[in-house]
Structure 1
Amino acid sequence: MEIIPADRFAAPDGTAHYVEHLRVPALSVGTYSIPAGGADPQGPHTEDEIYVVLSGRGRFTGGDRTVPVGPGTVLYVPAHEEHRFHDVTEDLVICVMFAPAEGTAG
């Protein structure tokens, strides 16, 4: 077991920041942080993805749908779908799960 200190969630330079915590062939899990007012530069992934918002507030657009997000919001993004967080009003900390592991579905 690994205990992950909360300061590892913080974006070190005020930009979006992803830290992977677990990788096995079937999935990978990490934390993604975006500071208030920050941008989400990510593009579509080759794997399905689940986001669980742990803290913070903002909005999320996936495909043609935009929704508000806050603690407890769970989002599913199918592989290859355009998506991003935006209008971040409170620092976001998000648990991210990829299946299979990020970058392996090519």
Structure 2
Amino acid sequence: MEIIEGAGAWKQPGSEGTDWVEQLRRPDLSVGTYCIPAGGKDTQSPHTEDEIYVVTAGRATIETPGRSAEVGPGAVIFVPAGEQHRFVEVTEDLALLVVFGPAYGSRG
């Protein structure tokens, strides 16, 4: 067992406007925290891994090519590998617990 300290906790992003911190990495999964400040811009690209977001703080809208949805604390979002997605209209500082399967970047 391992307790993952700080996973999903809000952290003020640096000069790039968003903040991604990987807190656990195993071959089959990785866990991290992604933060976007209120009014910030999400510039991520599609990933080669399946992804689950758990909103731990804040409010925003997530957009994919076929859908958009408002999300807030407690929302759980699945995004399949390769799907375009982006958080927009970030109205409150957004903190996301992110789980990748397999580990982020492992599929190149």
TM-score by length of 1: 0.91
1:35 aligns with 2:33: no
- Match of 1:24, as an amino acid? R
Please tell me the root mean square deviation across aligned C-alpha atoms, in Å: 1.7
Provide the residue aligned with 1:49 in structure 2: 51
Aligned residues: 105
Unaligned runs of 5+ in 1: none
C-alpha distance in structure 2 between counterparts of 1:14 and 1:35, whole Å = 11
Runs (4+) of structure 1 moved beyond 6 Å? none
Contact 2:4–2:24 (8 Å) recurs in 1: no
TM-score by length of 2: 0.90
Quote the offset at 1:104 in angstroms: 0.7
Percentage identity across aligned positions? 52
SS, match of residue 46 in structure 1: coil
Quote the offset at 1:11 in angstroms: 1.0
C-alpha distance in structure 2 between counterparts of 1:2 and 1:21, whole Å = 7
